[in-house]
Amino acid sequence: MNGNERVTELQPGIFQVRGLAGSSHSYVIKGAYLNVLIDSGADHNFPVLERGLSEIGLRVRDIELVINTHEHCDHIGANRYFQEHALIAAYRLAASKMILGDYYVTMYKGNDLNEIPLRVHLWLENMTRLDLGNYSLRIFHTPGHTSGCISIYEATRGLLFSADTIFAGGTLSYIAESGSVGDYIDSLRRLRCFGLEALYPGHGRISMTPAEDIDRAIENAKILLEGRSEDREKIFFYKQQERSSSDAAVEGS
């Protein structure tokens, strides 16, 4: 952790810039071949991200590829600061929602209002591989929270950038209009097959026990699927955040 306290080097050349006030976290990978940003975060969070980048020796223009994990505005809102010079990549079901400017599904309505049309240059498919030289990223389509969610697996170190698909402790996102609990369980079961050493989610803390987190998440998703009326605070990440507002101030939401 350096002076900013919002920037952490998680692995050599892999940094987390923690989002403020509801923004997703952003992850920066200084690749040997290109610099990658996973999720630009909310528009209002851009000054935090820009400061974080400068602390790790990068200007905004040094980011060459932005991967959006899904179409929600707390993950894509600052794309407009990158899309003139960097390639923007998203899974095709997220990309179509982004470029159509559907502010209901991207949740811009009532949140950050971004009037600048979003661009998506690379429409990703399941199993797309990105070779950064020092790291190798594999895109996995993991629908559940929304239909267009991806998780990004770094195979050489067993890292999972899980966005809103799974959080530390196995809590879940809510199911958005295009999402599905059944898809969520399938996605979690597929993620469980990987050799994982660390979980880097879109909100909240990171976890070094990803297998346990996924097992718990599958149990939580089954409770939802079966309509069991168990304590929702155990299932949903945002319920835990509501309960602990002081954590929310530190972690984002």
Task: Kindly determine how many residues on this chain lie close enough to bind Zn ion according to the rule CB under 5 A.
Answer: 2
CB atoms within 10 A of CB 198: 18
Distances from the Cα of 157 to the Cαs of 12, 135, 153, 161, 212, in angstroms? 11, 8, 9, 12, 18
Strands (E), the chain: 7-11, 14-17, 26-30, 35-38, 65-68, 87-91, 122-124, 129-131, 136-141, 150-154, 159-163, 198-201
Instruction: Compare residues 72 and 216 and give the one whose CB is closer to Zn ion.
Output: 72
Instruction: Compare residues 30 and 72 and give the one whose CB is closer to Zn ion.
Output: 72
Instruction: Compare residues 203 and 216 and give the one whose CB is closer to Zn ion.
Output: 203
Is there binding between residue 154 and Zn ion (CB under 5 A)?
Answer: no
Instruction: Compare residues 132 and 188 and give the one whose CB is closer to Zn ion.
Output: 188
Residue 165 tokens read as 């698909």
Nearest to 48 by CA among 77, 18, 24: 18
Minimum gap (Å) between residue 59 Cβ and Zn ion: 28
Alpha-helical runs (H) found in 85-169: 92-99
Strand order in the sheet with 26-30: 7-11, 14-17, 26-30, 35-38, 65-68, 87-91, 122-124
Site for Zn ion in 23-52 (CB under 5 A): none
Site for Zn ion in 80-109 (CB under 5 A): none
Nearest to 13 by CA among 80, 62, 69, 47: 62
For Cα atoms 227, 233, 237, give the angle at the middle one, nearest 5 degrees. 100
Minimum gap (Å) between residue 12 Cβ and Zn ion: 29
- From 72, 80, 141, 203, residue interacting with Zn ion (rule: CB under 5 A): 72
Of 64-72, 114-122, 181-189, 192-200, the segment contacting Zn ion by CB under 5 A is 64-72
Instruction: Compare residues 97 and 216 and give the one whose CB is closer to Zn ion.
Output: 97
Minimum gap (Å) between residue 146 Cβ and Zn ion: 6
Distances from the Cα of 248 to the Cαs of 73, 96, 136, 185, in angstroms? 18, 31, 32, 27
Nearest residue by C-beta to Zn ion?
72
Instruction: Compare residues 112 and 164 and give the one whose CB is closer to Zn ion.
Output: 164
Q: Which residue has the tokens 């050489």?
A: 156
Of 36-44, 61-69, 162-170, 233-241, the segment contacting Zn ion by CB under 5 A is 162-170
Minimum gap (Å) between residue 144 Cβ and Zn ion: 11
Instruction: Compare residues 164 and 183 and give the one whose CB is closer to Zn ion.
Output: 164
Minimum gap (Å) between residue 71 Cβ and Zn ion: 8
Minimum gap (Å) between residue 164 Cβ and Zn ion: 4
Is there binding between residue 164 and Zn ion (CB under 5 A)?
Answer: yes
Distance CA 50, CA 198 (A): 25
Of 65-73, 181-189, 193-201, 216-224, the segment contacting Zn ion by CB under 5 A is 65-73
Residues that bind Zn ion (CB under 5 A): 72, 164
